[in-house]
Amino acid sequence: MIGIVGYGSYLPRYRVKVESIAKQWGSDPEAIKRGLKLFEKTVPGMDEDTITISVEASKNALKRAGIDPEKIGAVYIGSESHPYAVKPSGTILLEALGIGNDVHVASYEFACKAGTEAMYTAYSLVKADEMEYALAIGADTSQGAPGDALEYSASAGGTAFIMGKQNVIAEILFTHSYTSDTPDFWRREHEFYPRHAGRFTGEPAYFKHVVNAGKKLLEKSNMKPEDFKYAVFHMPNGKFPQIAAKKLGFTLEQIETGWIVPWMGNTYSGSSPTGLSAILDVAKPGDKIFMVSFGSGAGSDGFIFNVTDKIVDVQDKAPKLKEMLDNNKIYLDYGEYAKFREKIILNQ
């Protein structure tokens, strides 16, 4: 049996409400809340980035896995906000966690699906018997240009998964990836903010890839939507995953637990992985989970998980996602948010 042996998330304490952003740009917050189904989002502290988020999420994953960090043979961090253009984020993480130096490390980028790339590679290496454990992380401090629609969604957070064969809490039964050259969203070298093709990011990008990956995954597994207790899709806003779920035959009840985007925002590479974390916090043995990520450019990774008896032993060993999402919030106004996200040009 191969799958997740430990999982953990981290969300910053800071939040900004849709009202604060809309007021700045003269927009109607009610129209945005109604249209995008977004209410507030997480904001990283001035001392937080993809690396610090990854470290804290991984500490929680290690608490649940209960393993010696030195047994981890690979560290993959998926993000589109790696702090360095040249220097892997994982090098800092492996020192912070005490993983040691006999480890394979890489930084992944694929817009919002870099986290599930890391999960797929980590799972595959364990499956190939190359190592006992592999650590996969999806984390971001995503960027949205001032005044752009992305400013309402681009948020911060991440989730870590340790893949292994012993004491598996969620077995990976099937995977499928669907990829094409679709120019819906990009960021050129040296550009601070990404660009996107507006409505083109919807039907030909998000829905085409999520639905095709999902359909192939159902075909491959010979399973039906009603066989699953939970489903989670990439959450660029509140509306898209609801539509994708309907297109594939899932109900809103099946996606409700992992649909955390209205209060978290889009954590990009950490989006569907963090939704999965929220599901694992409450899942019961025997539950089946359907997951499809999406990364612009574009592609989707799909996974089917079977929750095992071991899940109940680990759920309380680290903070749960809803606790992090609902408690200890510090709200920022737009000026503070702009300062935190370094949107104000300062003299050096």
Among candidate residues 245, 263, 295, the one with its CA nearest the CA of residue 119? 295
Q: In what order do the strands lie in the sheet with 14-17?
A: 40-43, 14-17, 330-331
Identity of the residue, 97 or 235, whose beta carbon is nearer to other proteins in the bound complex: 97
Give the tokens for residue 21. 């952003």
In one-letter notation, the amino acid at residue 335 is G
Q: Exactly one of 2, 29, 37, 45 binds other proteins (CB under 8 A); which one? A: 45
> x/- string (CB under 8 A) for other proteins, residues 106-125?
--------------------
User: Is-catalytic flag, 80?
Assistant: yes
Which position among 82, 176, 196, 234 bears the catalytic label?
Answer: 234
Which position among 40, 48, 56, 80 bears the catalytic label?
Answer: 80
For residue 95, state whether it binds other proteins (rule: CB under 8 A): yes
Contact yes or no for 15/332 (Cβ under 8 A): yes
Given the rule CB under 8 A, which of 26-34, 53-61, 191-199, 296-304 is the region that contacts other proteins?
A: 53-61
Among candidate residues 320, 1, 319, 5, the one with its CA nearest the CA of residue 162? 5
Which position among 112, 117, 196, 209 bears the catalytic label?
Answer: 112
User: Is-catalytic flag, 190?
Assistant: no
Given the rule CB under 8 A, which of 9-17, 100-108, 164-172, 178-186 is the region that contacts other proteins?
A: 9-17
Q: Exactly one of 46, 68, 191, 323 binds other proteins (CB under 8 A); which one? A: 46
E strand residue ranges, the chain: 3-10, 14-17, 40-43, 72-78, 104-108, 133-141, 156-164, 170-182, 185-186, 195-196, 230-233, 288-292, 297-307, 330-331
User: Is-catalytic flag, 209?
Assistant: no
Among candidate residues 303, 3, 321, the one with its CA nearest the CA of residue 162? 3
Given the rule CB under 8 A, which of 49-57, 124-132, 256-264, 288-296 is the region that contacts other proteins?
A: 49-57
For residue 332, state whether it binds other proteins (rule: CB under 8 A): no
Contact yes or no for 342/43 (Cβ under 8 A): no
CA 24 from centroid of its chain's CA atoms:
28
Question: ω before 298 within 30° of 0 (cis)?
Answer: yes
Residues 143-172 that bind other proteins (CB under 8 A): none
E strand residue ranges, 109-169: 133-141, 156-164
Given the rule CB under 8 A, which of 42-50, 103-111, 146-154, 290-298 is the region that contacts other proteins?
A: 42-50
For residue 92, state whether it binds other proteins (rule: CB under 8 A): yes
Task: Compute the CA torsion angle 43, 8, 216, 309 (nearest 10 deg).
Answer: -150
Identity of the residue, 181 or 189, whose beta carbon is nearer to other proteins in the bound complex: 189
Identity of the residue, 95 or 253, whose beta carbon is nearer to other proteins in the bound complex: 95
Which residues of this protein are in contact with other proteins, per CB under 8 A?
Answer: 12-14, 45-49, 51-52, 55-56, 59, 83-84, 92, 95-96, 98, 330, 339, 346, 348
Catalytic positions: 80, 112, 234
